[in-house]
Amino acid sequence: MKTRKSITKRFKFTKTGKILRRPTGLDHYRAKKSGKKVREGRKWVRLSKPEEKKIKKLLKLN
Protein backbone atom coordinates (compact mmCIF):
# COMPACT_ATOMS: atom_id res chain seq x y z
CA MET A 1 0.00 0.00 0.00
CA LYS A 2 1.32 3.45 -0.94
CA THR A 3 1.55 6.37 1.49
CA ARG A 4 -1.04 9.12 1.05
CA LYS A 5 0.80 12.05 -0.53
CA SER A 6 -2.09 14.45 0.15
CA ILE A 7 -1.62 13.89 3.88
CA THR A 8 2.09 14.74 3.77
CA LYS A 9 1.18 18.09 2.18
CA ARG A 10 -1.55 18.99 4.70
CA PHE A 11 0.24 18.19 7.94
CA LYS A 12 3.51 19.08 9.65
CA PHE A 13 5.40 16.53 11.71
CA THR A 14 7.53 17.61 14.68
CA LYS A 15 10.69 15.82 15.77
CA THR A 16 8.95 14.64 18.94
CA GLY A 17 6.24 12.90 16.90
CA LYS A 18 3.40 15.43 17.18
CA ILE A 19 1.27 16.15 14.13
CA LEU A 20 0.16 19.70 13.37
CA ARG A 21 -2.61 20.96 11.07
CA ARG A 22 -3.98 24.29 9.90
CA PRO A 23 -7.07 25.63 11.71
CA THR A 24 -10.42 25.11 10.01
CA GLY A 25 -12.78 27.69 8.59
CA LEU A 26 -10.34 30.21 7.14
CA ASP A 27 -10.43 29.59 3.38
CA HIS A 28 -13.10 32.21 2.67
CA TYR A 29 -15.65 34.50 4.39
CA ARG A 30 -12.87 36.26 6.30
CA ALA A 31 -14.57 39.66 6.18
CA LYS A 32 -17.13 38.65 8.78
CA LYS A 33 -14.50 37.17 11.12
CA SER A 34 -12.79 39.26 13.77
CA GLY A 35 -9.12 40.20 13.44
CA LYS A 36 -8.31 37.99 16.40
CA LYS A 37 -9.85 34.97 14.68
CA VAL A 38 -7.92 35.66 11.46
CA ARG A 39 -4.62 36.08 13.36
CA GLU A 40 -5.20 32.85 15.28
CA GLY A 41 -5.72 31.15 11.95
CA ARG A 42 -2.06 31.65 11.06
CA LYS A 43 -0.92 29.30 13.82
CA TRP A 44 -0.63 25.54 13.49
CA VAL A 45 -2.89 23.43 15.74
CA ARG A 46 -2.03 20.07 17.26
CA LEU A 47 -4.15 17.07 16.33
CA SER A 48 -6.00 15.12 18.99
CA LYS A 49 -4.63 11.70 19.98
CA PRO A 50 -7.26 9.64 18.07
CA GLU A 51 -6.82 11.75 14.92
CA GLU A 52 -3.04 11.49 15.26
CA LYS A 53 -3.32 7.71 15.39
CA LYS A 54 -5.38 7.63 12.17
CA ILE A 55 -2.95 9.86 10.29
CA LYS A 56 0.05 7.81 11.40
CA LYS A 57 -1.74 4.68 10.21
CA LEU A 58 -2.35 6.19 6.77
CA LEU A 59 1.30 7.21 6.51
CA LYS A 60 2.58 3.95 7.98
CA LEU A 61 4.59 5.76 10.67
CA ASN A 62 3.94 3.11 13.34
Report the pLDDT value the prediction gives residue 61, as an integer from 0 to 100: 67
Residue 19's DSSP bridge partners are: 13
pTM for the structure as a whole = 0.76
Domain boundaries, the chain: 5-23+33-59
- Secondary structure of residue 40 in the 3-state scheme: helix
Report which of 43, 49, 57, 50 is spatially closest to residue 12, judged by C-alpha positions.
43
Q: What is the pLDDT of residue 62?
A: 58
How far apart are the C-alpha atoms of 54 and 38, rounded to whole Å? 28
- pLDDT tens string for the chain (62 positions)? 677 788 888 999 999 989 999 999 888 999 999 999 999 999 999 999 999 999 888 887 65
Could you give the C-alpha distances from 17 to 3, 7, 11, in angstroms and in order?
17, 15, 12
